[in-house]
Amino acid sequence: MKKDIILAGVGGQGVLSIAAIIAQAAVSVGLLVRQSEVHGMAQRGGAVLAHLRLSDTGIASDLVPQGGADLIISMEPVESLRYTAWLAPEGALVTAAEPFINIPDYPDIAVILKTIADFPVNRIVDAAALAKEAGLTRAVNMVMVGAASPFLPIRSPSLEATIAAMFASKDPSVAEANKKAFNLGRIAATKEGAK
């Protein structure tokens, strides 16, 4: 088993937290993990990229080859399209629907979402609304972990346990809101897949 993942977004969206949760959950179920990150200028809204490779056998490199990603998880629609050259033909593209408009000539969002919807396996998730429904607007990245979970080789209880452990030092309501966000994202991705 091998699962190569590209994670994308901009600074402050929690891309690296998503990578950390998936990586820790993968280790907890006995998988090997390699990860690489690029987050230069992230504090100023710049692009954040992580390569995450999971396998039950050895992993030769930290980097996912172009055309080899089984999954792209993106916190932002344009950032998801930036890395489609890495997506395998049968790979899944999972993105938050809400744009992060940090440039004056941000492309037409309707065109961007239509382009994403044309990928054979895709999920466009109203992540901000689901995080708000979970009771914590900052939990958008946990919504996206949930939305990506049907495509991961890790069962939901292991991901939920990792989320709970990550937020164990916080107020219990924060941990509960993040777990709820995860589950709302998972349900949304499943409904999308049922269309």
**Which residue segment(s) compose the domain that 145 sits in?**
2-192
How many independent structural domains does the chain possess? Answer: 1
Token pair for 176: 């509960």
Provide the pairing of β-strand 69-74 with 87-96. Answer: parallel
Q: In this structure, what is the dihedral angle of CA atoms 36, 151, 60, 74, given to the nearest 10 degrees?
A: -20
Task: Give me the pLDDT at residue 17, please.
Answer: 92
**Cα dist. 159→22, 40, 62 in Å?**
7, 28, 22
Percent of the chain with pLDDT over 90: 82
d(CA 136, CA 145): 15
Task: Give the Cβ contact number of residue 38 at 10 Å.
Answer: 12
Distance CA 50, CA 160 (A): 21
What's the average model confidence in pLDDT over 160-177? 93
DSSP 152-177: SSS-HHHHHHHHHHHTTTS-HHHHHH
User: What does the pLDDT read at residue 103?
Assistant: 81
- pLDDT score for 192: 63
* pLDDT tens readout for residues 131-153: 999 999 999 999 999 999 999 99
- Residue 133 belongs to a domain with what CATH number? 3.40.920.10
Angle at 43 between CA 20 and CA 137, to 5 degrees: 60
pLDDT in tens, 31-84: 999 999 887 665 666 788 999 999 999 999 999 999 999 999 999 999 999 999
